[in-house]
């Protein structure tokens, strides 16, 4: 299945070189977002100054009609009236025209860097696919108590950004996803994703937690670095986005032995879906930003720092 962002690319093909892959440099990418726009071949238009610009990517998205302003203060593009050539023309439904860049960006990595990049891009009017390998965005920062060196509350900084992502109609959060391949060139790239099953319908789940209370299987809690236990079905953490439960398929008694089913019995929302299967999807985007974050490693390998 090929997914393509709505929008009506109208700028000339990009002239910039490079492989189309950008690395975020931390949680503040204010200087990076305009660079993305430039590389995509969309020079700042009237929308960047607060006025409508239906030629900008994302302008064909229905919710743009709300006239919502981006968090950066730059105006969100406004769709043209029905019937007027422009944002809602048949071109938009069909998507990209040959040789023109795609008005969407894929951000790979749902930590604070990827979250901030997505918000900045959305503020510029781009359609954003925020791809995360775990069941929720938030990355490592949501597991921390304090941030260094200011000793600020980590979740107090991150949680509002996560809520903003969840409510931003220009951003589509794709969890439990792995990037299999990236092909193409800046302005027209195809990204193949492997989407792993959650076994819970995100659109139905209310995050009530009733299923977790009845689940008999305990597993190490990834949110607490395995230092405590959680249930096989659980909402990853209270501020998770999406705030839906997820089932650890390899530990679930129903999925491995055909027994139990307690979660199905107690779920009032009918959200459990044991028919969920791994699948692949291809997304057409103009640019990919890699925000992979980090993992703890064995410090004894770094003897030059005095470990080991």
By CB under 6 A, how many residues form the interface with ligand SF4? Answer: 28
Q: Please, what is the minimum distance in Å from the beta carbon of residue 160 to ligand SF4?
A: 23
Tokens representing residue 269 in the block: 């929302």
Name the segment binding ligand SF4 (CB under 6 A); options: 5-13, 119-127, 259-267, 287-295: 259-267
Q: Please, what is the minimum distance in Å from the beta carbon of residue 237 to ligand SF4?
A: 13
CA-closest candidate to residue 93, choices 6, 163, 218, 12: 6
Q: Please, what is the minimum distance in Å from the beta carbon of residue 268 to ligand SF4?
A: 7
In the complex with ligand SF4, the residue whose CB is nearer, 37 or 267, is 267
DSSP SS3 for 153 = strand
Q: What is the DSSP string of 168-185?
A: -TTEEEE-SEEEEEEEEE
CA distance 203 to 271: 8
Name the segment binding ligand SF4 (CB under 6 A); options: 21-29, 73-81, 109-117, 248-256: 248-256
CA distance 255 to 61: 39
182 and 189 Cβ atoms separated by less than 8 Å: yes
Binders of ligand SF4 in range 202-241 (CB under 6 A): 205-211, 214-215, 217, 232-233, 235
Write the CB contacts of 33 (distance below 8 Å, at least 6 apart in sequence): 117, 120, 121, 123, 124
Tokens representing residue 54 in the block: 């239906």
Q: Please, what is the minimum distance in Å from the beta carbon of residue 111 to ligand SF4?
A: 24
DSSP SS3 for 193 = strand
In the complex with ligand SF4, the residue whose CB is nearer, 24 or 230, is 230
Binders of ligand SF4 in range 276-295 (CB under 6 A): none
In the complex with ligand SF4, the residue whose CB is nearer, 84 or 270, is 270
Cα Rg of the chain, angstroms: 21
Tokens representing residue 214 in the block: 């009845």
Q: Please, what is the minimum distance in Å from the beta carbon of residue 194 to ligand SF4?
A: 22
In the complex with ligand SF4, the residue whose CB is nearer, 200 or 291, is 200
The 157-186 contact track toward ligand SF4, x by CB under 6 A, reads ------------------------------
Write the CB contacts of 89 (distance below 8 Å, at least 6 apart in sequence): 8
In the complex with ligand SF4, the residue whose CB is nearer, 48 or 260, is 260
Q: Please, what is the minimum distance in Å from the beta carbon of residue 197 to ligand SF4?
A: 12
Number of helices followed by number of strands (H, E) in the chain: 7, 15
List interacting residues with ligand SF4 (CB under 6 A): 200, 205-211, 214-215, 217, 232-233, 235, 245, 247, 252-254, 260-263, 266-267, 269, 271-272
């Amino acid at each position: 299945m090929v997914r393509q962002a709505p929008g009506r690319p109208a700028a000339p093909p990009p002239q910039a070189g490079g492989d189309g892959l950008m690395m975020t440099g931390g949680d503040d990418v204010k200087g990076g977002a305009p660079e993305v726009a430039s590389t995509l071949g969309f020079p700042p238009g009237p929308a960047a100054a607060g006025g409508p610009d239906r030629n900008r990517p994302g302008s064909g998205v229905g919710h743009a009609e709300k006239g919502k302003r981006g968090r950066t203060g730059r105006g969100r593009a406004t769709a043209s009236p029905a019937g007027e050539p422009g944002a809602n023309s048949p071109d938009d439904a069909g998507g990209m025209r040959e040789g023109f860049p795609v008005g969407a960006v894929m951000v790979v990595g749902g930590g604070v860097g990827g979250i901030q990049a997505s918000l900045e891009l959305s503020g510029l009017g781009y359609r954003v696919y925020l791809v995360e390998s775990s069941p929720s965005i938030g990355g490592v920062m949501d597991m921390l108590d304090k941030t260094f060196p200011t000793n600020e509350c980590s979740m107090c900084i991150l949680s509002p950004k996560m809520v903003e992502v969840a409510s931003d109609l220009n951003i589509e959060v794709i969890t439990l996803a792995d990037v299999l391949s990236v092909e193409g060139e800046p302005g027209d790239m195809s990204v193949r994703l492997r989407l792993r099953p959650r076994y819970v319908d995100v659109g139905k789940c209310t995050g009530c937690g009733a299923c977790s209370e009845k689940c008999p299987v305990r597993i190490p809690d990834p949110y607490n670095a395995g230092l405590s236990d959680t249930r096989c079905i659980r909402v990853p953490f209270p501020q998770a986005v999406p705030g839906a439960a997820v089932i650890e398929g390899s530990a679930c008694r129903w999925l491995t032995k055909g027994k139990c089913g307690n979660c199905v019995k107690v779920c009032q929302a009918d959200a459990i879906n044991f028919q969920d299967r791994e699948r692949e999807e291809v997304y057409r985007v103009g640019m990919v930003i890699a925000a992979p974050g980090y993992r703890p490693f064995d410090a004894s390998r770094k003897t030059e720092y005095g470990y080991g």
